[in-house]
Amino acid sequence: MVSNLPPVIAIDGPTASGKGTVAMRVAAELGFHYLDSGALYRLVALASEKEGISVDNPIALGSLASGMQIEFKDGVVLLAGRDVSEAIREEKIGSRASQVAIYSEVRDALLTLQRSFRQKPGLVADGRDMASRIFTDAVLKVYLTASVQARAERRYKQLIAKGISARMNVLLQDLQERDARDTNRGTAPLQCVEGAYLLDTSNLSVDQAVAQVLSWYAELRNQL
């Protein structure tokens, strides 16, 4: 049965696997909308830090998440009308986001918001539970991963390029801790769902990864 809803390409994967870059490029190639679900959890992390809400208080975090004023506009992320595009990309906020994302109160609060991004002509969504929970009927489900060493090296280069000091051993440990939280949490754990295409980008360029996803999508659309 063909859905009347706009098609969704769901791309899940661990931290620093490159899924955001790939998803954004695929969306641009297809003229689709793009959802960076990780940014939503980073926004909760940033807002809760500024409000002084503990990462051990799921009730307060969920309440905060449900009331946030969020807007994505021309590549800019706005929180209550303020540009926080750079602030949510800080390493400490990324780590905090991984901590707040384990709670069902937070994930449930963001559920409707994420699904509202599904608009014509289509959507490319990246995150941890896009295929397993948010868009279970996605036309294409991709689990994009890379070795922890490759992911740490990418993150290291990104930070150095921004003039931010970084140490590989610290980055490796942080990624391993985030992976453990993401895969072991009780609500919507990170997983490669049945029917998803596995894409290991450890030795692939961004162009190659984008081309592969577009190829899979073209094949699936031709079958409908």
Residue 200: strand pairing partners: 145
What is this structure's pTM?
0.88
Average pLDDT over residues 174-180: 92
β 70-73/8-12 pair status: unpaired
What is the predicted pLDDT for the residue at 150?
96
Average pLDDT over residues 176-190: 89
What is the predicted pLDDT for the residue at 159?
87
What is the predicted pLDDT for the residue at 3?
66
Write the pLDDT tens digit of every residue in 85-142.
999 988 899 999 999 999 999 999 999 989 999 999 999 999 999 999 999 999 999 9
DSSP code at position 118? -
| CB neighbour list of residue 7: distance below 8 Å, 6 or more residues apart | 121, 122, 123, 138, 139, 221
- Residue 12, sorted as left (phi over 0), alpha (psi -120 to 50) or beta, turns out to be beta
Write the pLDDT tens digit of every residue in 22-81.
999 999 999 999 999 999 999 999 999 999 999 999 999 999 999 999 888 777 899 999
What is the predicted pLDDT for the residue at 1?
42
DSSP code at position 9? E
Confidence of residue 186 (pLDDT cuts 50, 70, 90): confident
CATH match of 8-210 with 3.10.290.10: no
Edge to edge, the sheet with strand 76-79 lists: 70-73, 76-79, 82-83
What is the predicted pLDDT for the residue at 46?
97
What is the predicted pLDDT for the residue at 25?
96
